[in-house]
Amino acid sequence: MINVTKTFLPPQEEYNAILKRAWDTGWITNRGVLVKELEKKLIEYLDVPNIIAMTNGTLPIQIAIKALGLTGEIITTPFSYVATTSSIVWEGCTPVFVDIHPDYLTIDETKIEAAITSQTSAILATHVFGNPCAVEEIEAIAYKHNLKVIYDAAHCFGVSYKGKSIFEYGDVSTSSFHATKIFHTGEGGALFCKPEYFDSMYFHHNFGHNGPGEFSAVGINAKMSELQAAMGLAVLPYLNKIIDGRQTVISRYRTAFDGLNIKSIKIREGSKWNYSYYPIILKSETELLELVKALLNENINTRRYFYPSLNTLKYVARSEMQISEQISNSILCLPVYMDLSETEQLKIIEIVNKRVS
């Protein structure tokens, strides 16, 4: 079976050697030495001022909404993973959807101001497949209307925009370190924020603790464990190799599909991309379903990602998002991972070429 993605697993002996340090101390949670070491190394690797490692990639979004004191309406994208919208609803706010750009697939910044009301408190936008939003325009709008900006940067490890880590944009940026991501801790995530928000974000992720017996604010338990951090420390030395391998795979797809009636994502100028996914946009849902079936018949898994368009979820007020709905119905992510062999990939390409007119 060729899967749409494959978790990179470092040599087991390297992971075990790091994990043994936690075993030797008996300290496997509550921000032990491995979590602190991972945070320090990630700050250096990403060239960011701060980071809070967490146990998954959804809690950072929820904590950001809570810690920033957001209420009322939050403007967001309908084209993202469900956690972006569900976090807004979970924290008692109302998602207000703005349609996406048909090429970049990120929220259409030219439509944001029309959606702002007296109840709007923030903009929560997603850098889709690691492709940066129009961050300068979004933050100018936010400044004009006194709104907070949160970026769901789940796919963005290693991405930069105009020479600066994508995690440095916005009031808060969040990331996922799930096993399917380029950098992973098995399950995990992180929050990055402006320095003035760091203490509040930190307290919120650790029960509100401000010292052993003092609580500065309400909080939850979002801490990363030593077991997760050990995986991250074992994976990190291989990051450049992982990204290079994925670039090779995506370059091969691009060459093979040049001239074919297939559209893919347009990467925003000024971006250093991380080759996190390779989505193709087909003519129709019918063509997509036929291709999915043909690939599955050859034991090749793909993923309809992102599907469905989030404005169609049962627990949100229905609104029409023409571009997002169209893209969601016709987009398919093809297999991309470092050790996808050329032979395997050529098999995928052959089937796509036969099925797409």
> Beta strand 172-176 with 94-97: parallel, antiparallel or unpaired?
unpaired
* pLDDT at residue 210 greater than cutoff 90: no
Question: How many domains would you assign to the chain?
Answer: 2
Q: What is the mean pLDDT of the chain?
A: 96
Task: Kindly report, residue by residue over 304-346, the tens digit of the pLDDT.
Answer: 999 999 999 999 998 999 999 999 999 999 999 999 999 999 9
What value does the mean pLDDT take over residues 5-34? 96
The boundaries of the domain holding residue 345 are 239-355
Residue with tokens 């050990």: 230
Task: Kindly report, residue by residue over 167-209, the tens digit of the pLDDT.
Answer: 999 999 999 999 999 999 999 999 999 999 999 999 999 988 8
Q: How confident is the model at residue 356 (pLDDT cuts 50, 70, 90)?
A: confident
CA–CA distance from 194 to each of 49, 169, 191, 226, 271 (Å)? 9, 9, 10, 26, 21
Where does a domain end: 237, 272, 297? 237
Which residues lie below 8 Å from residue 20, measured CB to CB, with a gap of 6+? none
Where does a domain end: 237, 264, 289? 237
Whether this model's pTM surpasses 0.75: yes
Q: Rounded distance, CA 183 to CA 275, Å?
A: 12
Where does a domain end: 193, 214, 237? 237
| In a domain? residue 63 | yes
Instruction: Specify whether 324 is located in the same domain as 272.
Output: yes
Instruction: Specify whether 272 is located in the same domain as 299.
Output: yes
* pLDDT at residue 212 greater than cutoff 80: no
Q: How confident is the model at residue 285 (pLDDT cuts 50, 70, 90)?
A: very high
| In a domain? residue 1 | no
CATH number of 182's domain: 3.40.640.10
